[in-house]
Amino acid sequence: MTDFRKTVERHVVELETENRLLKEKNSDLVKYKEESNARVEESERNVKELQEKTVRELQREVKQLYVELSEKTDALDMANARLAELESSSSKDEEEIANKQTRQTVDASPNYEYEEEMESMRKRLKDSHKEVDNLREANARLERLMEQQKKTNANSPAIIHVNGGDCVGFADPAEAEYLKNVLYRYMYSRENLGKEAVINPGSLLTW
């Protein structure tokens, strides 16, 4: 009977020891879980703050791009007016040159001053034609780019009113990033267009 009691007591001690160890492990696990939850909550807050900051920055950038687009649209209108003016001027110069050539044919006597004037008019007409061609090419490219931008805007979830100052909304940062990239490509193409076009300093078009 004594041996049996000793065995039972030893068993009890072992169970108590094991139970204490399990409680310590459980306490450690609870503490680890609490720390993990705290880290997860902090990470979620940081991610949310970063997303909100990114969206705000993208909104500002996109709005600025729309302002620049509006300015370039005004410049395009001015360029079209300048183009019409140059075409009208070219027609008048061509008519004047034709009239002077007719008079020169009638008057066969040499007139060097008259020849210099004719040459000056021919050069001015040539320069005018060159400027008209450059303007036509620049306007055609810009109009194609603007049409492409309009199609992009039609499929975009973002709605922006530049002059009205309305707030810009996005479903998520990915949509805002997509719209910003589209606009950047458009603005970059338009800047290259301005560098390629050789415009007379007296022109009304400003890139």
Q: How far is it, in rounded angstroms, from Cα 124 to Cα 120?
A: 6
Q: What is the DSSP string of 94-145?
A: HHHHHHHHHHHHH--S--HHHHHHHHHHHHHHHHHHHHHHHHHHHHHHHHHH
pLDDT tens, 117-152? 667 777 777 776 676 666 667 666 666 766 766 666
Average pLDDT score over residue span 164-190? 51
pTM exceeds 0.75: no
* 3-class DSSP assignment, residue 67: helix
